[in-house]
Chains A and B, each alone.
Chain A
Amino acid sequence: MDTFYYLIQNTLPVAIPLLLVALGGMFSERSGVINIALEGIMLVGAFFGCLFVYFVQSTSLDAQGILLLGMLVAAGAGFLYSLLLSLAAVTMKADQTITGTALNMLIPAAILLFSKMFFNSDGITTNKNFYIKEVPLLSEVPVLGKLFFQNTYITVYIGIFLLVLSAIVFYKTKFGLRLRACGEHPHAADSVGINVYFMRYAGVSLSGILGGIGGFFYAVGVMNGNTNGHTGVAGFGFLALAVMIFGQWKPFKILLAALFFAFLRTVAYSIALIPFLDALNINQTYYKMLPYLATMVVLAFTSKKSRAPKAEGIPYDKGLR
């Protein structure tokens, strides 16, 4: 049972970045822009978040307060970086995949350059501890307390809050409805007076904000508050895209998909603690490949009846009706 608690406690901080970034991808794609730059946006968020933590860690600020402020910094950085994508993909009507790839390539190189110049290292190392041993009162609750309120990060609760918020914005507001219309049939949306360019900018910017936060939460919850240009976010941005497709571009299905992938990854990295898997004596690298292989299997089964937004990937041109 302890192993089970351990696995769940470790799955959640991994699932939250995937969840947030996949939600970001959902906003962007449902508005009609393929956002393959999520990997780069995550890394931007992780880097600027950690940079902020690095500069304030010696002050007397409370660890959780620093985390919240770092989250805002990361969101801002992700938002600004995503503007580069909207500029190229919406205003300039460039190929969305290529632009995204360029943005993904730019940021690790820029981080390495910057860190080598100013820190003489490959990235940023912080020493603030964001870990929460137990939440007062709630951790006493039987079973649930152990699962969700011990050995965790505040990022888990923020992530769930942002999920609910996203779902409300997405399904219960005028804005959400208009956004979705732009991804399905932009010309129809335009004909009833919706500004397609603005909605696409909004979709990509939301993905920038959520992607930036997701990246920072990855750095906090998975990398212990560090980030570097070599490993970056280890393909989490791309995994998030797979999570989004597996979740069929819908918020709560995305949550389930994120939990599934995060659980696989946690298992892969804690083989030694699971007696029956440890006894099999399989090279650990196979388990590291598992999330990626699982992605392929899942996509193979879900893509045939894919509910992808119809207009995604096609730059909107007013002249084409």
Chain B
Amino acid sequence: MQDKTVSSSKAFDNLKKVGKSKGFSAFTAALLAILLGLIFGYLIMRIASPANSFLGFQMLLIGGFKRIGDVFYFATPILMTGLAVGFAFKMGLFNIGASGQYTMGMFFALYVGFMWKLPDSIHWIVCILAGMVGGMLWGLIPGIFKAFLNVNEVITSIMFNYIGMYLVDMLIQGNAAMYISSKTRTAYLPASAQLPTLGIPHSSVNISIILAITLALILFIVLNKTTFGYELKATGFNKFASAYAGMNDKRNIILTLVIAGAMAGLGGAFAILAPSTIAGSSMTYEPVSVIAANGFNGIAVALLGNSNPIGIIFSAVFISHIQRGGTLASLYGYKPEIIDVVIAVIIYFSAFAMLMNSTVANLIKKRYSKKQSAKLPSADSKEGA
């Protein structure tokens, strides 16, 4: 009897070690936030139309498996914007401007795709790089404002979301080669500018998902194995201490936001350069003066992934998965906006999920230790007898 309690308490100790590690608590916190978000979504579905709510919710959860290719196609841009937000988070900067950087990246990629005549083999690569430059530019500006003029990056990047959106819509509408006014959309890109597809039928999934995952891995290495990554995280923990230690915070702020912008810009390029499911056509952009939602979804992705590039890969796929499920839930009469509501609720809870998490963990621990202390005397009494 005693042996059993000893071994179980050992197992409990091991469990406690895992439970105390930072990565694990971030993971459970994310799960808790997701769970609460999904419960909220289900409640809304119950209220909206009780009869179909179970089937609809089921579709929301597992519908994505029926469209695996699409899940990965739609995961690519939010994986990139998620990296854009998460990377800046590591330095304590809130890059809410991923939308504007994304839009600029998309525009630069489109521009090179339509206006530059290049050999087929490198055209799409140049398009991607152009998108990256576009995003970097829109990341550089808030960086300069923050580093040299002490303007809060949140306000700057929000303003540049609007400026970028109006600018891109105007430039596209004014360009006859890119814009078909009768369709109010951009024309199809030439085939040489489109990304090579992965060949999964009925989906637009293409090589960019592989590039995106590679980039996430590179960022992981940069953050954990380089001096720059160390300085960046140190500045995020305590900017005064790191400045005192001689780190060049102005340079680091600008560099971080430029890299973040590059990621979001690549996201825009990846999204727009994809071939669509109809042969010969490609994705198109409709200038409607609305800020790109993928930038904001990137915030959700980054938070769920705890700003860790590896975590962001998984959270991007998850968010894309429930988005596809939400689209399919419209078969049961639910509007796809329900997913946006669920995502917003997930972000809200993940903002204090860590705290909730430790409260729950403490409760369980208390319960467990109570049980244990209740057990121990009984074991002793048995031995005595």
Contacts and interface: CB of A to CB of B under 8 A. Distances in A.
B341 interface: yes
B44 A99 contact: no
A231 interface: yes
Contact of A105 (B154, B156, B166, B343): B343
Chief secondary structure at chain A's binding surface: helix
Indicate the size class of the contact surface on chain A: 35 or more
B169 A285 contact: yes
Nearest to A112: B337
A270 interface: no
Contact of A235 (B48, B145, B158, B167): B158
B158 A94 contact: no
Contacts of A229: 337
B96 interface: yes
Interface stretch (B131-139, B241-249, B344-352): B344-352
A116 B335 contact: yes
Nearest to B339: A109
B163 interface: yes
Nearest to A105: B344
Contacts of A293: 159, 163
A318 interface: no
B341 A106 contact: yes
Contact of A97 (B94, B145, B159): B94
Interface string A263-305: 0000000000000000000010110110011011001100110
Given A99-B348, A292-B163, A299 B335 contact: no
Interface string B346-370: 0110111001100000000000000
A93 B352 contact: yes
B145 A113 contact: no
A113 B341 contact: yes
Contacts of B350: 98
Interface in B291-314: 296, 299-300, 303
Interface string B107-137: 0000000000000000000000000000000
Chief secondary structure at chain B's binding surface: helix
A292 B150 CA distance: 18
Given A242-B159, A303-B151, A306-B150, A110 B341 contact: yes
B345 A88 contact: no
A167 B369 CA distance: 55
Interface string A203-238: 000000000000000000000000001110001001
From B96, B156, B344, B355, name the one whose CB has the most chain A CB atoms within 10 angstroms.
B344
Contacts of B149: 299-300, 303-304
B296 A94 contact: no
A303 B150 contact: yes
Interface in B126-185: 145, 149-152, 154-156, 158-160, 162-163, 166-167, 169-170, 174
Interface string A46-86: 00000000000000000000000000000000000000100
A109 B341 contact: yes
B341 A102 contact: no
A25 to B, nearest CB: 11
Contacts of A102: 344-345, 347-348, 351
A197 to B, nearest CB: 15
A36 interface: yes
Contacts, number: 124
Given A113-B341, A285-B169, A303-B149, A231 B162 contact: no
A4 to B, nearest CB: 27
A94 B355 contact: yes
Contacts of B355: 92-94
B315 to A, nearest CB: 15
Nearest to A293: B163
B200 interface: no
A289 B155 CA distance: 15
Given A94-B355, A106-B345, A231-B289, A292 B162 contact: yes
Interface string A92-130: 111101110111011011101100110000000000000
A245 interface: yes
A88 B162 contact: no
B48 A99 contact: no
A117 B348 contact: no
B338 A113 contact: yes
B151 A300 contact: yes
Contacts of B154: 36, 97
Nearest to A111: B337
A117 B48 contact: yes
B286 interface: no
Contact of B335 (A101, A117, A235, A245): A117
A36 B347 CA distance: 15
B351 A289 contact: no
Interface in A184-211: none
A163 B48 CA distance: 40
Contacts of B151: 296, 299-300, 303
A151 B158 CA distance: 33
Given A106-B345, A285-B169, A95 B159 contact: no
Interface of A: 36, 84, 88, 92-95, 97-99, 101-103, 105-106, 108-110, 112-113, 116-117, 229-231, 235, 238, 241-242, 245, 283, 285-286, 288-289, 292-293, 295-296, 299-300, 303-304, 306
Given A88-B348, A92-B356, A296-B159, 8 more contacts: A102-B344, A102-B345, A113-B340, A235-B158, A235-B162, A293-B159, A299-B149, A303-B150
10 contacts: A36-B154, A88-B348, A105-B296, A109-B343, A113-B44, A113-B48, A235-B162, A241-B155, A289-B167, A296-B151
The 5 closest A-B pairs by CB, nearest first: A109-B340, A106-B344, A94-B352, A102-B348, A102-B347
